[in-house]
Amino acid sequence: MTNSDNALHRGVTCPRRADLVDRAAAMHHSFLGGRDMFSRTRFLGAALAAGLLMAGSGVRSWAAPITDVSYFNSIAHTHITFEQDGTGATLPVMSNITMPANEYASQGVTILPQVRVVRDSDACFRLVQDIAGGSTPYGLSASQTSSFEFDPPVQAFGFVFVAIFFQNATFTAFDENNNVIETAVFTGPFIDGTGCGFLEYGFVGIESTTPIHRVSVAAPSGAIDNLRFAPAETDADDDGIADDDDNCPNDANPGQEDADGDGLGDACDACPLDAANDSDGDGVCGNVDNCPTLPNAGQDDADSDGIGDLCDVCSNDASNDGDGDGVCENLDNCPGFANPGQEDSDGDLLGDACDLCPFDANNDADGDGVCGDEDNCPTVANSGQENADGDGLGDACDACPNAPANDLDGDGLCGDVDNCPSTANADQADLDGDGIGDACDGDIDGDGLSNANETIFGTNPLIADTDGDGLSDGVEVDTAQGSGCPNPLLADSDGDGLQDGYELLTLQTSPCSADTDGDGVADNVDPLPLQPGVTQDYLRSLTCQLAIDILQLDHNLFTGNNALAKKARRATLALHAALASALIGHGNYNAAQNQLENLLDRVDGVNAPQDWMVPSAQKTALAEYVDLLISLIDFF
């Protein structure tokens, strides 16, 4: 609910239900342009009755507001009460519930920007909502709803709306091109609810012959409940008959005439007097066809007996079966040779009795003197019948004369030159250049790791070095020996800032240990990564930087009676580090170590001598670092 919604309920007292019902009766007027809320009938019938939608009239759309929920009593529609979520589960009892915009998408509506359901705790507001036909205790917050989107589009929608404090609401329907179809405006008068504030309620919606795709909501307050919507009907030919009921959905025929009773209207029936609709498919309707069950588009009737030649015995045989085999000559496959069985082994319409190639329907089409059923190139002349690869195809017509299997995989390449002869790969792609095409290569990228194992390890079978660290995936897996390190998916397996390939191939350090020599100094900064310890210059620079870092610490991290004392102790510790750096530079390691141990004594947390720093993360880190420097001096 919005702030204005809540204002309705602050400091008010609910009247008796009977009083509220009396006032509700006074609110039974139209809030949509003076129309009676309970007089709307189904939109198509109303449009036709009003003469607003007629076939051929040029008026192709009609829309109007709906003010009465009874409109939906006689038509199939979807009803959402907002008592359940999109799965049908009853909503929990709580003040406000927010759900995704697509919560009710499976029912055909998306509510933008999100579904905001409110449960008003004020019995007065719920009572008005109940009188208005709304369900309790839930309703959709109108002020937090921008639009409804219907998929599929609808012919009508409507819902119960409750408004307060003289705040009107506007609901606008749009077509698929975002053109305005109709607008319904919710207005007063608002009735004093005697403790309930000023209220108005009613049923609001829009019906339209143009499918409604979206409805915008402009409401500063109020609640929406009991959303109903009906799927859009279509009438492609604008004859007033819905496509599902129209016997000619694409041809206007409001009378639905069907002379032959075949279910096709006369307006779209090619044979309006032939229920079988030219059953032989010769283009002549059965009621005028001289051979209605045999296709004979020309309607030839040589003997003029009213029966077409196709169904007339010997209608075109002047000799009346001259060879006496019982078959009319015009139908005889060997007209001069008696063959009552009409044997025709190759189906070429020449009877075997008179066919030189009785098993070759093309009768030696290439004219090389060999019948097609025996010719290894039946359409290419090759009287010698040469066949180099012995595959049964003559060389003259063999696309792959040197490949007995020819192009087994059908990729357009002969098997003798195909890098995947049994797997189709017209592009002959060979990523690793090993002569085996990618389509049949068990290791496409040639990294030594099979495609199947790449899937197991999660590496890319098309990139030899998935993590780009300079080591192929196969090398990394083989090196790891099941330990998981080096990891072919991590360029820097040990996280020391050095890629695995650089460590293994260039530095010879371990890609699985950030400190290969175990001296406490990471490989990426260790001047001697393969030898415990560091160089003199490097150790001197570390201790010098330590002195600088100590001086940059907040003086409040140090103990002392005042700021001056704290800063003095900070400076003293920094001096120990600086002296150690200088002593290292002169090769006096024992003295340098003594300076660092004096520094450590003041930060190590041991009782004696007393520490000069208060407990802190900085103190702990400093102690650990100084201890590391002391251990590095031991290597000299």
Task: Report whether pLDDT(381) > 90.
Answer: yes
- Structure-block tokens of residue 13: 């007292």
Task: Report whether pLDDT(26) > 70.
Answer: no
Q: Residue 160's pLDDT is what? A: 85
Helix intervals (H) in 287-403:
none
* Mean pLDDT score across all residues of the chain: 83
Q: Residue 190's pLDDT is what? A: 55
Task: Report whether pLDDT(425) > 80.
Answer: yes
Task: Report whether pLDDT(3) > 50.
Answer: no
Q: What is the pLDDT of residues 71-116, one digit of tens each?
A: 999 899 999 988 899 999 988 877 688 999 999 999 999 999 999 9
Q: Which string of DSSP letters, residue by residue, matches 356-382?
A: SSTT-TTSSTT-SSS-TTT-SSTTS--
Q: pTM here?
A: 0.37
Higher pLDDT, 394 or 7: 394
| DSSP summary character for residue 109 | E
Which residues neighbour 544 within 8 Å (Cβ) at sequence distance 6 or greater?
Answer: 577, 578, 581
Whether 570 contacts 551, CB under 8 Å: yes
Q: Residue 216's pLDDT is what? A: 96
The CA distance from 87 to 77, in Å, is: 18
The CA distance from 36 to 324, in Å, is: 91
- Measured in degrees and rounded to the nearest 5, phi and psi for residue 528 equal -130, 70
Q: Residue 12's pLDDT is what? A: 25
Whether 165 contacts 190, CB under 8 Å: yes
The CA distance from 238 to 234, in Å, is: 9
Q: Residue 156's pLDDT is what? A: 96
Q: Please state which of the ranges 96-105, 132-141, 248-257 shows the lowest mean pLDDT.
A: 132-141
Among candidate residues 622, 603, 621, 624, the one with its CA nearest the CA of residue 612: 603
- Measured in degrees and rounded to the nearest 5, phi and psi for residue 239 equal -105, 10
Confidence of residue 221 (pLDDT cuts 50, 70, 90): confident
Q: Residue 344's pLDDT is what? A: 92
Q: What is the pLDDT of residues 178-194, one digit of tens each?
A: 999 999 988 766 555 54
The helix or strand, by DSSP H or E, that contains position 157, with its residue range, turns out to be strand 147-164
Q: Is 542 helix (H, G, I), strand (E, B) or coil?
A: helix
Q: Residue 191's pLDDT is what? A: 54
Q: Which string of DSSP letters, residue by residue, matches 561-582?
A: SSHHHHHHHHHHHHHHHHHHHH
Whether 387 contacts 372, CB under 8 Å: no
Whether 506 contacts 482, CB under 8 Å: no
Q: What is the pLDDT of residues 586-609, one digit of tens each?
A: 999 999 999 999 999 999 988 778
Cα radius of gyration (the chain): 47
Q: What is the pLDDT of residues 121-134, one digit of tens each?
A: 555 455 445 544 44
Q: Which string of DSSP letters, residue by residue, matches 213-260?
A: EEEEEE-SS-EEEEEEEEEPP--TT-SSS-GGG-SSTTS--TT---TT
The CA distance from 77 to 150, in Å, is: 13
The pLDDT of 547-575, averaged and rounded, is: 95
Confidence of residue 138 (pLDDT cuts 50, 70, 90): low
Helix intervals (H) in 493-616:
500-501, 536-551, 563-585, 589-601
Q: Residue 464's pLDDT is what? A: 87
Q: Residue 119's pLDDT is what? A: 66
Confidence of residue 137 (pLDDT cuts 50, 70, 90): low
| DSSP summary character for residue 148 | E
The pLDDT of 6-12, averaged and rounded, is: 28
The pLDDT of 192-215, averaged and rounded, is: 77
Q: What is the pLDDT of residues 279-305, one digit of tens each?
A: 999 999 989 988 899 999 999 988 777
- Measured in degrees and rounded to the nearest 5, phi and psi for residue 510 equal -85, 125
